[in-house]
Amino acid sequence: MRRLLSYPRSTIEWSAVVVACLIVLMALFGRWFAPFDALQIDFRNKLKAPSFVHLLGTDETGRDVLSRLLFGAQLTLSSTLTVLVIVVLIGCTIGLFSALIGGAIDNLLMRLADIWLGFPPLILALGFASALGASLEAAILALVLSWWPNYARLTRMVASDILARKFIASADALGVPLTRKIFAYLIPNAFDVMIVQVSLDVSAVMLAISGLSFIGVGAQIPAPEWGAMIADGRSYVSKAWWIVSAPGLMIFLTAVSFNIIGDMLRRELDPTLRRDRREGPAGA
């Protein structure tokens, strides 16, 4: 833990960590702090500017923007997390299998992943929307299907690198069984690279989900997903800017802070750093 706390090196990085933590807390507990029901319509109070009652104003149907924001946090982040967890599970398993089995099958799987990467996620999402009906679930499915090859390729590359190292040959000479090789050798040594990729992808996936919701193939009305909120408030930008700005700002902050955290992790966990070696950097 102490080592983790030493990672942030500048005010920006500390701010990013704080902001990310706050957003996660918001996603977990926000709903209990919401002053209003996110779906509560109240036409008498529509398009009200921010005030003490409605801290972030109301939207075109009188719903409290702040409450929607808090509920939306959970929606947006949980869908992001769902995509990432499934993608990591599928992609890493395939990648690991590919690296371990090697040979023609490895080649085949990776070429398959390459081809699959050619599918633009947007087209896929639109396809699902028309086939299954537009919904957040459809958007998640579309993203999972278009994102897994990234992790398959990354895992395969990282695993192959690790498998080529001498301590794996030592383990083979010792007769270490495969399961232990995977869980005690491959995964711990791949973890650093993977965690960097995942943190960078948090913002990418989130933007993708919000983007899909924005164009209407993701979360549907009245779900307070942030992208959908921006879509809802699009027509009122000049009259009631708060409807669009609040979720927009949240998306921005989330994306930027996780990106900064990802960069920070990449710097700190870079395996090419010669921290591990006893020889000084001078190579004297």
Partner 1 sequence: MLEAAAPLLELDDVSVALNDGARPMVSGISLSIRPREVFGVVGESGSGKTLLARTIFGLHDEAHVAGGRISFNGEELPQHGRHRAAAAKLLGHDVGFVPQDPFSSLNPSMRVGKQITEALYLAKGMPMHAAQTRERAIGVLAEVGIPEPELAFNQFPDQFSGGMRQRIVFAIALSQEPKLLVADEPTTALDAITQRRVIELILERSRTHNLAVLLITHNLELLRQSVDRIAVLYGGQLHNIVKSADVGQRPLHPYTEALFACIPSKGRTLAEIRSIPGEPVGAGFGTTGCAFASRCGFAVETCRTARLPLNDGKGESFSACLLGRGAEP
Partner 2 sequence: MSQGVPMVELEGVAKRFSRRAFVQSRSFALHDISLTVERGEVVGILGESGSGKSTVANIITRLTAYDSGSYRFEGRDMKRLSRAESFEFKSKVQIVFQDPYGSLNPRATVQDSLLEALVLHQRGLSRQQRLAQAARLFEEVGLGSQSSARYPHAFSGGQRQRIAIARALAVQPELLVCDEPLSSLDVSIQAQILELFVRLIRDRHLTIIFISHDVSVMRLLCDRVYVMNQGRIVESGRTSDVLEHPKDDYTARLLEAVY
Give me the long-range contacts of 27-34 (CB less than 8 A, separation at least 24): 27/73, 27/74, 27/76, 27/77, 27/78, 28/74, 30/69, 30/70, 30/71, 30/73, 30/74, 31/70, 31/71, 31/74, 33/70, 34/64, 34/66, 34/67, 34/70, 34/71
Partner from partner 1, partner 2, none binding residue 238, C-beta < 5-8 Å depending on class:
none
Partner from partner 2, partner 1, none binding residue 280, C-beta < 5-8 Å depending on class:
partner 1
**Of 1, 5, 131, 284, the one binding partner 1 by CB under 8 A:** 284
**Which residues ranging from 218 to 277 are in contact with partner 2 (CB under 8 A)?**
275-277
Question: 37 vs 161, which CB is nearer to partner 2?
Answer: 161
Question: 239 vs 274, which CB is nearer to partner 1?
Answer: 274
Is 102 one of the binding residues for partner 2 (CB under 8 A)? no
User: Using CB under 8 A as the criterion, what x/- string covers residues 262-281 for binding partner 1?
Assistant: ----------------xxxx
Largest separation between any pair of C-alpha atoms in the chain = 77
Q: How many residues bind partner 1 (CB under 8 A)?
A: 7
- Identify whether the C-beta of residue 229 lies closer than 8 Å to the C-beta of residue 247: yes
User: Using CB under 8 A as the criterion, what x/- string covers residues 170-189 for binding partner 2?
Assistant: xxxxxxx---x---xx--xx
Question: 44 vs 278, which CB is nearer to partner 1?
Answer: 278
